Amino acid sequence: EGKPLRFSRILLKISGEALAGDRGVGFDFDRIGFFADQIVEVARMGVQLGLVIGGGNIVRGTQLSQMGMDRVGADYMGMLGTVINAMALQDVLEKKGLDTRVMTAIRMEELAEPYIRRRALRHFEKGRTVIFAAGTGNPYFSTDTAAVLRAIQMKADVIIKATSVDGVYSADPKKDPNATFYETISYRDVMLEELRVMDQTAITLSKENQLPLIVLNLHSPGAIVRAVRGERVGTLVS
């Protein structure tokens, strides 16, 4: 209706914490339902949509390794956590009438399809929302890096990182009242100023592949829908 769509294929990254309640762990289905409505709306706009889900509400590899666990095993636990989240999100989205597929970077075919790029593209063509789970399938990486990787492999027009703040600031706005907000910023400046937009691996990968990134607030009503329409929302990193 009205405005032409600016993006036709989008990769949306949602952190594990977005699924959690105030304690930051487990699941809060009211909260999931709130942003799931936006996902459904975007999918109904005819946009091809891929989701990458984090796992921070279940396991963070670095935390377990600080507790003495070997990092590799800890990271595999983290990746399994993202699969748990993907299944929760899939359930919510399907109950809202969306056709979805979970694809995992680590094979577990009893519960989800393995990630196969061409098959994922076919799902997009058929209008299915694809939830990419298990990160990159490799320890020592993050789900932000997985999101960039899937976005460039799928040739998405943009990656949208939905966070708990409105976009990119010069400092953490939850701690520093003088933090200034950036409407746009270059990847170069993100690197130079060491802004914590995504981890360095993810930033480097998206910079090298000229993948634009929009950072916005997941909890701000309609933000994702407006960004998909090409309206100025959050911070554009390019």
Q: Does residue 226 have a known ligand-binding role?
A: no
Q: Does residue 56 have a known ligand-binding role?
A: yes
Pairing of strands 113-114, 129-133: unpaired
The footprint of ligand UDP on this chain (CB under 6 A) covers a number of residues equal to 24
**219-229 as b/e: b if 16+ CB within 10 A:** eeeebbbbbbb
Other CB atoms within 10 A of residue 29 CB: 13
Question: Which span (122-130, 143-151, 178-186, 230-238) binds ligand UDP, by CB under 6 A?
Answer: 143-151
Is 167 a binding residue for ligand UDP by CB under 6 A? The answer is no
If the CB atoms of residues 10 and 18 are measured against ligand UDP, the closer one turns out to be 18
Is 75 a binding residue for ligand UDP by CB under 6 A? The answer is yes
Query: How far is it, in rounded angstroms, from Cα 45 to Cα 41?
Result: 6
If the CB atoms of residues 195 and 229 are measured against ligand UDP, the closer one turns out to be 195
Is 223 a binding residue for ligand UDP by CB under 6 A? The answer is no
If the CB atoms of residues 16 and 234 are measured against ligand UDP, the closer one turns out to be 16
What's at 3, amino acid-wise?
K
User: Closest Cα to residue 2, out of 215, 235, 231?
Assistant: 231
Is 78 a binding residue for ligand UDP by CB under 6 A? The answer is yes
At closest approach, how far in Å is the CB of 50 from ligand UDP? 15
At closest approach, how far in Å is the CB of 44 from ligand UDP? 26
Q: Does residue 139 have a known ligand-binding role?
A: yes
Other CB atoms within 10 A of residue 144 CB: 25
User: Closest Cα to residue 173, out of 142, 195, 194, 189?
Assistant: 195
Residue 214 makes CB contacts below 8 A (sequence gap 6+) with 158, 159, 160, 161, 227, 233, 234, 235, 236, 237
* Lateral strand order in the sheet of 113-114: 113-114, 100-104, 129-133, 48-53, 9-14, 158-163, 213-217, 235-237, 184-185
Which position's Cβ is nearest ligand UDP?
54
Question: Which span (33-41, 48-56, 164-172, 207-215) binds ligand UDP, by CB under 6 A?
Answer: 48-56
Is 141 a binding residue for ligand UDP by CB under 6 A? The answer is yes
Is 157 a binding residue for ligand UDP by CB under 6 A? The answer is no
Query: How far is it, in rounded angstroms, from Cα 90 to Cα 85?
Result: 8
Is 163 a binding residue for ligand UDP by CB under 6 A? The answer is no
Radius of gyration of the chain, Cα coordinates, nearest whole angstrom: 17
Q: Which residues bind ligand UDP (CB under 6 A)?
A: 15-17, 54-56, 60-62, 74-75, 78-79, 81-82, 135-136, 138-139, 141-144, 146
Which residues fall in the annotated binding site?
A: 13-16, 55-56, 60, 75, 136-143, 163, 169, 172
Which residues fall in the annotated binding site for UMP?
A: 55, 75, 136-143
